[in-house]
Structure 1
Amino acid sequence: MLRFVGAGASHVGLVRDHNEDAAYSSPYLALVADGVGGAAAGEVASATAAWVVAATARSHPDDDPAVVLGEAIRTVVLDLHRGVAADPDRTGMATTLTAVATDGHRVVLAHIGDSRAYLMRGGQLLRVSHDHTFVQALVDAGDISAEAVRTHPMRNVVMRSLHAGSGTEAEVQPDIAVLDAQPGDRLLLCSDGLTDMVEDAALAPLLGTADPAAAADALVRAALDGGGRDNVTVLVLDVVDDPDAVRLSADGELHGAIRDPRNVVDPGEHQHP
């Protein structure tokens, strides 16, 4: 039975005064959410997304993870709408979401925004998520090079996110796909506070540290050494096959904004993750 074994770390960074990232990890679900920069109540949006997805997955342990993630994301959007209705100061709040879930047989990725997921196998690192950003659209169209993204003045403009606005359905539609994940692979989920500070080529040596907790700490330290201009959150997860495992609804680890239930829209509406 496939499951995740790993560790995470989150840091406010060297410039921001509070953490708008939220992360959750358990043997069968892991996610990173990042409140969209410049929007109101980013910590509420990210914590609510993390809480709702974790609670939904925990309450449906035997269901198809693609279906569970899709349903959870629809619930997040509804909760964000309710959060704005309850407090108009939250108008415009939005968050990215990058999540992986397994039913013990396959691993499913759900992704929206510019947080990222990577898979490392045999020392080779592959990005398995696709940024929903203005600059990535320019790269896809062949208008700029991938190398130009890091210095482009609009590099942080997110085109798709989970939000409570009145945008089109496409703007809140995540990518959901089955990953080619195998026992022995290592997954990295991270906010752009890491990837804006550390180039992809520098990630693999740090991620290759044997102990997941040490790897997570090394990645955060690299982001801080690179300038720490944003909150930085990472989850380092080893994919393992445990044929004797009995799937249980286990508690997960909370990182960042989700650690404070006051950041969650109506946490009592959902099972504690």
Structure 2
Amino acid sequence: MLRFVGSGTSHVGRVRDHNEDAAYCSPYLALVADGVGGAAAGEVASATAAYVVAASTRTQPDTDPVVVLGQAIHRVVVDLHRGAAEVPERAGMATTLTALATDGHRVVMAHVGDSRAYVQRGGRLARLSHDHTFVQALVDSGDITADAAGSHPMRNVVMRSLHAGSGGEADVQPDIAVVDALPGDRFLVCSDGLTDMTDEDTVGRLLLTPDPQQAADALVDAALEGGGRDNVTVLVVDLVDDPGTTRLSGDGALFGAMRDPRNVVDPGPLRD
């Protein structure tokens, strides 16, 4: 049975006064959500998204993760809309979301925004997610080069996010896909506070650190050394296969804004 082994870390950075990143890491889910910069209550949006997806994967352990993640993302939007209606100051709150989930048989990615997921296999790093940003659209259309994207003045303009908006499902456009995954693969899920401050060569080199926690800490340190202009959250997990075992507890570790239950719209217990 496939499962994740690893952990992570979240840091407020050197400039921001609070952490709008939220993350959750368990044997069956690695998720990072990042409150969209400039929007109200980013920490509420990210923590609520992380909570809803974590709760959904725990309460439906044997359901196809493609279905679970899709349904959870739609529920996030509904909850964000409700949270903004209840507290007007939250109007406009939004978050990115990048999640890797496994039901023990395959790995599925759900992605909205500019947080990222990578896989490292045989020492080679490959990006799994595609940024939903204005600058990435320019790269895709051939208007600018990938090298120029990193210094573009609009590189942080997110084109897709989970947001309070109208609360309608039509506004949700996540990328959900089955990942080419093998036991022994190492996965990285991170906020743009890492990738804006470090290049992918550095990320790949530090990700080779054998211990997942030490690798996550080293990546965060690199982002801080690079300027730390944003919150930075990193999860590093290895995919392992335990043949013949039954599903283990889905209990997971909480990071960043998710650690404060007051950030979650109408929180309830995460139950199996």
TM-score normalized by structure 2?
0.97
Which stretches in structure 1 are left out of the alignment for 5+ residues? none
**What's 1:165 paired with?**
165
Describe how 1:108-127 pairs up with structure 2 within 5 A.
Answer: 108-127=108-127
**What's 1:42 paired with?**
42
Describe how 1:238-253 pairs up with structure 2 within 5 A.
Answer: 238-253=238-253
**What's 1:80 paired with?**
80
**What's 1:2 paired with?**
2
User: Separation in 2 of the partners of 1:240 and 1:45?
Assistant: 31
How far has the Cα of 1:202 moved from its partner? 1.1
User: Separation in 2 of the partners of 1:51 and 1:168?
Assistant: 20
Please say if 1:210 is aligned against 2:210: yes
- Look up the SS of the partner of 1:110 in the other structure: strand
User: Separation in 2 of the partners of 1:245 and 1:221?
Assistant: 36
**What's 1:189 paired with?**
189
Q: For 1:47-85, what per-residue CA distance to the aligned partner results, in whole angstroms no more than 9, with x for missing partners?
A: 000000000110000000010000110110000000001
Q: For 1:164-209, what per-residue CA distance to the aligned partner results, in whole angstroms no more than 9, with x for missing partners?
A: 1139866521000000010010000000000000011111110000
User: Separation in 1 of the partners of 2:23 and 2:69?
Assistant: 15
Shift of the 272–193 alpha-carbon distance from structure 1 to 2, 3 Å rule, reads farther
Aligned AA (1:81): H
**What's 1:56 paired with?**
56
- Look up the SS of the partner of 1:105 in the other structure: coil
Q: For 1:213-241, what per-residue CA distance to the aligned partner results, in whole angstroms no more than 9, with x for missing partners?
A: 00000000000000000000000010001
Please say if 1:67 is aligned against 2:73: no
How far has the Cα of 1:150 moved from its partner? 1.1
Shift of the 14–89 alpha-carbon distance from structure 1 to 2, 3 Å rule, reads same
TM-score normalized by structure 1?
0.97
**What's 1:92 paired with?**
92
Is contact 1:51–1:272 with CA below 8 Å preserved after alignment?
no
**What's 1:11 paired with?**
11
Shift of the 120–175 alpha-carbon distance from structure 1 to 2, 3 Å rule, reads same
- Look up the SS of the partner of 2:245 in the other structure: coil
**What's 1:264 paired with?**
264
Superposed CA RMSD: 1.3
User: Separation in 1 of the partners of 2:40 and 2:263?
Assistant: 13
Please say if 1:175 is aligned against 2:175: yes
Which stretches in structure 2 are left out of the alignment for 5+ residues? none
User: Separation in 1 of the partners of 2:217 and 2:50?
Assistant: 21
Give identity over the alignment, percent.
Answer: 75
Shift of the 272–220 alpha-carbon distance from structure 1 to 2, 3 Å rule, reads farther
User: Separation in 2 of the partners of 1:168 and 1:252?
Assistant: 30
Is contact 1:161–1:171 with CA below 8 Å preserved after alignment?
no
Is contact 1:187–1:238 with CA below 8 Å preserved after alignment?
yes
- Look up the SS of the partner of 1:151 in the other structure: coil
- Look up the SS of the partner of 2:235 in the other structure: strand
How far has the Cα of 1:272 moved from its partner? 5.3
Matched residues, number: 272
Further displaced range: 161-170 or 148-157:
161-170
**What's 2:30 paired with?**
30
Return structure 1 stretches of 4+ with deviation > 4 angstroms: 167-171
Aligned AA (2:66): A
Is contact 1:42–1:95 with CA below 8 Å preserved after alignment?
yes
User: Separation in 2 of the partners of 1:169 and 1:138?
Assistant: 27
- Look up the SS of the partner of 2:43 in the other structure: helix
Aligned AA (2:29): L
Aligned AA (1:115): S
How far has the Cα of 1:249 moved from its partner? 3.7
